[in-house]
Amino acid sequence: MDQIQEKTSKEVDIYRDTWVRFLGYANEVGEAFRALVPVSAVWATYAVATVYVSADAVDKGKKAAVEHGDNPGKTTKVAVAVVDTFVWQALASVAIPGFTINRVCAASLYLLGRTTRLPLSVRKWTTTAIGLSTIPFIIHPIDRGVDFLLDSSLRKVYGQSAGERHD
């Protein structure tokens, strides 16, 4: 019963628990469509994802500020919350998945060109479909990999344990 009350009384995080979360995947969608749209459209999806990452980091900083009130070390705790969230999101939501989808799409377009006689437009649409269908399979492994990376490096610098993440 306590777990049910805890879940229902838990505050909804707009950046993690609502449709807004999908804005963090905008650049992966852009990379999947790279063969079909102007490069400026792909870069626009990176702008959307970067705004999402930045907004989430600011939100976690504000929450840390409220949580720590006027306690000593408040500024440090807020800075850690912002930096940890921004770095995690930048790696797990933008840089690594964007690179991954880019390479999957580039490889699939190349292989389709070398192994089939499909028209270029069909190869490009097929590449886009492959890129889009890859997104759900890469999210969790990348998230866990970034957790491991930060737990093994940056989080040791500021003494944050895995249970204190700002995700």
pLDDT tens string 123-153: 999 999 999 999 999 999 999 999 999 999 9
Inform me whether the pLDDT recorded for 163 exceeds 60: no
Q: Is residue 108 one of the residues assigned to a domain?
A: yes
Mean pLDDT of 95-121: 98
Q: Is residue 151 one of the residues assigned to a domain?
A: yes
- Higher-pLDDT residue of 12 and 162 is 12
pTM here is 0.85
State residue 162's pLDDT score: 52
Inform me whether the pLDDT recorded for 1 exceeds 70: no
Task: State how many domains the chain has.
Answer: 1
User: Among the listed ranges 10-14, 48-52, 77-81, which one has the minimum average pLDDT value?
Assistant: 10-14
Mean pLDDT of 146-165: 82
Phi, psi of 160 (to 5 degrees): -95, 135
Q: Is residue 68 one of the residues assigned to a domain?
A: yes
Task: Decide if 83 contacts 64 (C-beta within 8 A).
Answer: no
What pLDDT, in 10s, does the model give residues 50-78?
Answer: 999 999 999 999 999 998 888 888 899 99
Q: Is residue 12 one of the residues assigned to a domain?
A: no
Q: Is residue 145 one of the residues assigned to a domain?
A: yes
Q: Is residue 51 one of the residues assigned to a domain?
A: yes
What pLDDT, in 10s, does the model give residues 26-48?
Answer: 999 999 999 999 999 999 999 99
Sign of CA dihedral 113, 114, 118, 123: negative
Q: Tell me the pLDDT of the chain averaged across its residues.
A: 90
| Domain span at 120 | 19-159
**What pLDDT band is residue 7 in, cutting at 50, 70 and 90?**
very low
- DSSP codes of every residue in 58-114: HHHHHHHHHHHTT-TTHHHHHHHHHHHHHHHHIIIIIIHHHHHHHHHHHHHHHHHHH
Inform me whether the pLDDT recorded for 81 exceeds 50: yes
Q: Is residue 136 one of the residues assigned to a domain?
A: yes
Q: Is residue 1 one of the residues assigned to a domain?
A: no
